[in-house]
């Protein structure tokens, strides 16, 4: 049984088709990386999985439940199990790092304040920010803010973590801070779907790599296949231009 099963997914944006029959599966503990040129539909897949964009067709199964994103209950079910971290940190500027992590579990999930705070402290320590609990976002570097955003997503206790270009807004010397955090999560067995232009990182950590273009999956397979023996000429062209840039 696959943890997540996407079958023939289609989605439109502003009246134009963005996803055109995307299918893939994710097993527990796997890391699926979506690569491809800008506008290929990678981020749209993540937004669709979390209900930020309603699919126009196809099926999404989470464990044994088929999700109908027209139903509030199904969107809630998805968001209880899937969390997303965006390219932009989107932290609350008037809240400390600790409060940014605790506010949703406490206010939305209605969990016990002391329990949530203890977990948030542990999460911030995990991502290397144990000394920044009382710092506000404008007192943190971009890499530190993104790690707070990751801790905030983890505070929701997701089964699947979606990472949407989490390093693309960072200065090059800060990228490693966030990638090291993702490496830690991978080592702990977190199921993840990532969108990234960091090809070396994708090659290192991904269980499966999907190359998309124009809303379709052109090719998918283990990193060794995609990066060293891609079957499709378009995949080889993309890898050749991005891996060694």
Tokens of 9: 């997914």
CA dist 171 and 2 (Å) reads 37
User: Domain of 220?
Assistant: 4-90+159-242
Residues 89-104: pLDDT tens digits?
899 999 999 999 999 9
Residue 225 lies in a domain: yes
Is 18 a domain residue?
yes
Cβ 64 vs Cβ 73: under 8 Å: no
* Sign of the four-CA dihedral 197, 147, 205, 84: negative
Asked if residue 243 has pLDDT above 80, the reply is no
Beginning with the edge strand found earlier in the chain, give each strand of the sheet holding 208-213 in spatial order.
82-85, 160-164, 191-195, 31-35, 208-213, 216-221
CATH number at residue 37: 3.40.50.300
Pairing state of beta strands 191-195 and 160-164? parallel
pLDDT band at 241 (very low <50, low <70, confident <90, very high): confident
Tokens 């994710």 correspond to 26
Q: Would 81 be classed as within a structural domain?
A: yes
Mean pLDDT of 68-89: 95
Least confident residue range of 57-61, 79-83, 177-181, 223-227: 177-181
Q: Specify if 46 maps to a domain.
A: yes
Assigned domain for 127 exists: no
The domain tally of the chain equals: 1
* Model confidence, pTM: 0.93
The verdict on residue 112 lying in a domain is: no
Give 35's contacts (C-beta < 8 A, 6+ positions apart): 42, 195, 196, 197, 199, 202, 209, 210, 211, 212, 226, 238, 242
Specify the pLDDT at position 110.
86
Q: Is 63 within the bounds of a domain?
A: yes
């Amino acid at each position: 049984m696959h943890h997540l099963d996407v079958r023939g997914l289609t989605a439109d944006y502003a009246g134009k088709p963005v996803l055109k029959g995307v299918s893939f599966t994710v097993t527990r503990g796997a890391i699926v990386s979506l690569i491809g040129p800008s506008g290929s539909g990678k981020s749209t897949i993540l937004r669709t999985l979390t209900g930020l964009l309603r699919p126009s067709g196809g099926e999404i199964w989470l464990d044994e439940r088929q999700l109908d994103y027209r139903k509030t209950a199904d969107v809630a079910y998805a968001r209880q199990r899937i969390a997303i971290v965006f390219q932009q940190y989107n932290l609350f500027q008037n809240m400390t790092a600790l409060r940014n992590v605790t506010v949703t579990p406490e206010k939305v999930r209605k969990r016990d304040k002391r329990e949530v705070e203890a977990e948030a402290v542990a999460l911030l320590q995990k991502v290397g920010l144990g000394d920044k609990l009382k710092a506000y976002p404008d007192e943190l570097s971009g890499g530190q803010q993104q790690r707070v955003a990751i801790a905030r997503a983890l505070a929701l206790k997701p089964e699947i973590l979606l990472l949407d270009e989490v390093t693309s807004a960072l200065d090059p010397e800060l990228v490693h801070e966030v990638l090291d955090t993702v490496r830690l999560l991978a080592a702990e067995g977190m199921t993840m779907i990532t969108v990234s232009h960091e090809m070396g990182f994708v090659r290192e950590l991904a269980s499966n790599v999907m190359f998309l273009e124009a809303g379709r999956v052109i090719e998918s397979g283990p990193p060794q296949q995609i990066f060293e023996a891609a079957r499709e000429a378009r995949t080889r062209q993309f890898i050749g231009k991005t891996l060694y840039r």
